[in-house]
Amino acid sequence: MKALIKILGGCTIIIGLTLLLWGCAEKDELLLDSSNTDKIFTVRQSDLVIGTLLRGSANAKEKHKLSPEAAYKNVLTWIEDENERVKAGDVVIRFETRDLLDDIEKRKLALETLRKKLDLENEEKRILLSENQSKLKSAGDAVVAAEEAYTRYYKYDGKKEKEGLEDSVDSARKSLDEVRENHRLKSDEIRSTIYDDEDEKKQAQKELDTLADTLKKKDSAKEDAEFKLRMFKKYTYPNTLTDKKNKLDQSKLDFEKVKISTEARLIQKENEIQRLENEISKAEEELRRVESYVPLMEIAAPADGVIVYGDVDSRRDRIKITVGSEYGRRQVMATIPEMDNLIVDFELPEQFHYRVKEGAKVIVTPDSMPTVKLEGHVSEIAVVPVNQIYWDRSSPKIYNSVVTLNQQDERFVSGMSVVVEIIDEIIEKAVNVPVEAVFEEENEFFVYLAKDGRYSKKIVEIGKSTDKYVHILKGLKVGDEICLFSPYE
């Protein structure tokens, strides 16, 4: 029974309070709840900045991106800790060099082998040149000898031999004529002589028979001499001359063969030498190229700054930096932004593009330092919009834009998230209140005045507003206290 009374009593209190509030609502006035005194705002007068609030991030105007430059296996062995401050010249990245140095040694040995082969080929070429000269000389001498033999036989020996045979024929003919004449005379003598002595007659006949035998021999000798002359003219001379001419032609052909053969061997040897020289040149070039990678196995900071892993400008996921992993040539592994010249990157939504122009004044407020206000201006707006999510064509269009700061603050570092307030207008000495203090009903704007422990509804005329404050044209004065909430809620 007591519990019920307590409950009913509590209901009575709640009902009574509700009726009291309802009655006050009819009069547009409520009692001030002491628990909400911290939600009272005093109307002020100050310069009101009208503009566009966007999000952005601090970025270095100059960023040094560090990536492997060697076209080799770039296996990471050490990298400076992220967000560490480094100075220009400090080594911040190292790659494995063992395989590279082994490769260099192997290339040096291979190059030395090629050079020895080239020396051998040059020595063989020297020997070949000597052999070629000897062969060419022998072949040339053979040509000269054959030519001399041919010329000598054609001009001298052949004619001399022919003249000798002709002389032999003439001599045989004369000798035959003499014997024939003697035989005729002897024969006439025997016919005209009457021999008294038989022995004398026999002796004369014997002499005639001897002359007859001699005549036959001389005739045979003449015919033999004439035959030899005919054979010489018809066969021996032309055949011997042809043979010597053939030998001359053959010696010339042999000389050409030797010349072609020696030239071919020499060309083959020179081609082999040229091939080796080209191979050595390529090997030397490759060795220099690979040796040039050695200093690239260490990457030094090009400027003072803070090292950040990956490419800070990449909209894709940054690469994972792991010792022992291999990284491709020109794959950005780290970035060193120069902190003494920062800018602010922000994305300008497509719907605001018409109202924001290059040169517009900007106030930048770092999220982590709300009291720091950095002035600047819009220095760059992209000509062509892109999707906010680059791989999603349905995502909103934005213009990548840049704010250049009028001054730098050493507390302001790359990577900070900031509010970018692009100023359209500054209303000087404007009476302004927070936006949460202004309410709207039936196309009328009003606030709740807090005075003497009570709330009262007050119609106001508003002007331009920001995301936080509203310009009050009429209805309030400086020093009025208003609620930052609705008392009826």
d(CA 424, CA 352): 12
User: What confidence category does residue 186 fall into, taking pLDDT thresholds of 50, 70 and 90?
Assistant: confident
pLDDT of residue 125: 95
Amino acid at 447: V
**CATH topology identical between 29-62+338-483 and 100-292:** no
d(CA 488, CA 252): 129
pLDDT of residue 205: 86
- Looking at domain 100-292, its CATH architecture is Orthogonal Bundle (1.10)
Asked whether the predicted pLDDT for residue 24 surpasses 50, the reply is no
Cβ proximity of 145 and 247 under 8 Å: no
Name the phi and psi angles at 195, rounded to 5: -90, 130
Q: Please give the full DSSP string across 245-265, using - where no structure is assigned.
A: HHHHHHHHHHHHHHHHHHHHH
482 bridge partner residues:
41, 449
| Predicted confidence (pLDDT) per residue in 153-162, tens digit | 999 999 999 9
Q: Which of the listed CATH numbers 3.30.479.10, 3.90.180.10, 1.10.10.10, 2.40.30.170 matches domain 29-62+338-483?
A: 2.40.30.170
Q: Please give the full DSSP string across 269-320, using - where no structure is assigned.
A: HHHHHHHHHHHHHHHHHHHHHHHHTTGGGEEE-SSSEE-EES-TT-SSPPPP
| Predicted confidence (pLDDT) per residue in 283-314, tens digit | 999 999 999 999 999 999 999 888 989 988 77
> What is the helix, strand, coil percentage profile of the chain, to 5?
45, 30, 25
Locate the domains of the chain by residue range: 29-62+338-483, 100-292
pLDDT of residue 26: 38
Q: Please give the full DSSP string across 12-40, using - where no structure is assigned.
A: HHHHHHHHHHHHHHHTTEEEPPGGGGGGE
In this prediction, residues 432-460 reach a mean pLDDT of 90
pLDDT of residue 288: 96
**Alpha carbon separation from 32 to 56, 172, 188, 351, 460 (Å, rounded):** 42, 177, 200, 43, 21
d(CA 329, CA 234): 91
| Predicted confidence (pLDDT) per residue in 315-351, tens digit | 666 788 999 999 999 999 999 988 888 999 999 999 8
Burial class (CB in 10 A: 0-12, 13-18, 19+), 285: exposed
d(CA 363, CA 144): 105
| End-to-end CA gap in the chain | 35
pLDDT of residue 31: 57
| Predicted confidence (pLDDT) per residue in 460-483, tens digit | 999 988 878 999 999 999 999 999
Choose among 418, 306, 405, 296: nearest CA to 63. 306
- For the entire predicted model, the pTM comes to 0.56
Cβ proximity of 303 and 272 under 8 Å: no
Cβ proximity of 365 and 419 under 8 Å: yes
3-state secondary structure of 348: strand
Cβ proximity of 331 and 383 under 8 Å: no
pLDDT of residue 420: 94
Give the residue carrying structure tokens 């006050």: 24
Asked whether the predicted pLDDT for residue 253 surpasses 70, the reply is yes
Cβ proximity of 404 and 376 under 8 Å: yes
Cβ proximity of 204 and 190 under 8 Å: yes
